Amino acid sequence: MKTLFKTLFVAAAVSFSAASCTEQGQANTEAAAENASDAATIEANNAAVATDDALENTGQVIEATADKAAENTEAAADKAAAETKAAADKAGNKIDQATDNAKAEIRNN
């Protein structure tokens, strides 16, 4: 009988220990799942921030490129206008000279 009680006591202790380990294992599993969820959330937030930063940088690059293109276009237009004015002045001078030559020839005849 004494052995029976010892056996029952040991069985009860093992059962309690197994139940305790199972509860602890479940708690550890839940904690690990929570940590994994938190880590995934942090990574998702980091990816969102990185995406926002990349979009902002892309917008700034596009804006800078557009500004540079506008400056280049304006400079080219100014240069073309100056060249056109110079060509018009040169043509005007030749017309004036041809007119003066024609007047002089008419007077001499």
Instruction: From first to last of the 109 residues of the chain, give the pLDDT tens digit.
Output: 555 555 655 555 555 555 555 667 676 777 777 877 888 888 899 999 999 999 999 999 999 999 999 999 999 999 999 999 999 999 999 998 989 888 888 888 7
Q: Is residue 85 part of a domain?
A: no
Q: Which domain holds residue 58?
A: 1-79
Q: What is the DSSP string of the chain?
A: -HHHHHHHHHHHHHHHHHHHHHHHHHHHHHHHHHHHHHHHHHHHHHHHHHHHHHHHHHHHHHHHHHHHHHHHHHHHHHHHHHHHHHHHHHHHHHHHHHHHHHHHHHHH-
Q: How many separate domains does the chain show? A: 1
Q: Is residue 53 part of a domain?
A: yes
Q: Is residue 34 part of a domain?
A: yes
pLDDT attached to residue 34 = 82
Q: Is residue 94 part of a domain?
A: no
Distances (CA, A) of 36 to 11, 26, 91, 93, 99: 37, 15, 81, 84, 93
CA 38 to chain centre: 26
Q: Is residue 103 part of a domain?
A: no
Q: Is residue 107 part of a domain?
A: no
The pTM for the full model equals 0.49
